[in-house]
A = this chain, B = another copy of it.
């Protein structure tokens, strides 16, 4: 057993488990209860591992290898469809996570400029320490400057524009709030501006993710505190405006 386990890179426990669930039985069991595997079993294990890598469940694998006239292609095609779904889902999640990171960073920028500035400087500093000397020697000082400017994936110009839009959102929120109606033109402009702000350092956008972020705003007191600084209840208003904007609410 151990030989097989080491050969194929699986653990002894796994082999015992496969025996237990009837997926791979040893060729025979000797008088002292040891599991003895033959070449056939080695090959079978390879096949199992192959399918397992494809993320098929052990049960599905059992179906495929046990039943000689099982429709393998159909099973694989179903599995394929599931994997595609999974990937679509994953893509959505990845986009949302990235958006959340950016908006959190944005939240910091807006909520506490000094802190963020310090953070940014610290990163530039680290960058300097790591690569500065080497790059400076190779390409001169100008390159290093540019590199630092682009450090966070955006130019300093971009960075400033983003900050400005952030401020516009703030004033727009005050104005829109007076209408009292999250569906009003000004409120919808506000939501659009918020999207613009997100998109600034953003490539993919989905209404669902935008709406999800809005929901998060009211649940996270840092955001609540920030937007409510403009007007009391401002965060809730912004959320409602975004929900309407994204079509999640009427």
Q: A residues engaging B (CB < 8 A)?
A: 43-44, 46-47, 50, 53-55, 72-73, 76-77, 79-80, 83-84, 86-87, 90-91, 93-94, 96-98, 100-101, 104-105, 212, 215-216, 218-220
Contact = CB atoms under 8 A, between A and B. Distances in A.
Given A53-B93, A80-B94, A73 B219 contact: no
A93 B110 CA distance: 42
B97 A80 contact: yes
Closest 4 CB pairs of A and B: A47-B219, A46-B219, A43-B219, A76-B101
A100 B77 CA distance: 10
A87 B84 contact: no
A72 B219 contact: no
A112 to B, nearest CB: 13
A93 B97 contact: no
Q: Is the interface of A mostly helix, strand, loop or mixed?
A: helix
A127 B111 CA distance: 60
A227 to B, nearest CB: 14
A83 B73 contact: no
A101 B80 contact: yes
Given A76-B104, A101-B73, A50 B219 contact: yes
A83 B90 contact: yes
A46 B211 CA distance: 12
Given A76-B101, A98-B80, A104-B76, A54 B93 contact: yes
Contacts of A73: 101, 104-105
Contacts of A87: 87, 90-91, 94
B76 A212 contact: no
A90 B84 CA distance: 9
23 contacts: A46-B216, A46-B218, A47-B216, A47-B220, A50-B215, A50-B216, A53-B96, A54-B96, A54-B97, A55-B93, A72-B104, A73-B105, A76-B97, A76-B104, A79-B97, A80-B94, A80-B98, A83-B94, A84-B94, A86-B90, A87-B91, A87-B94, A90-B90
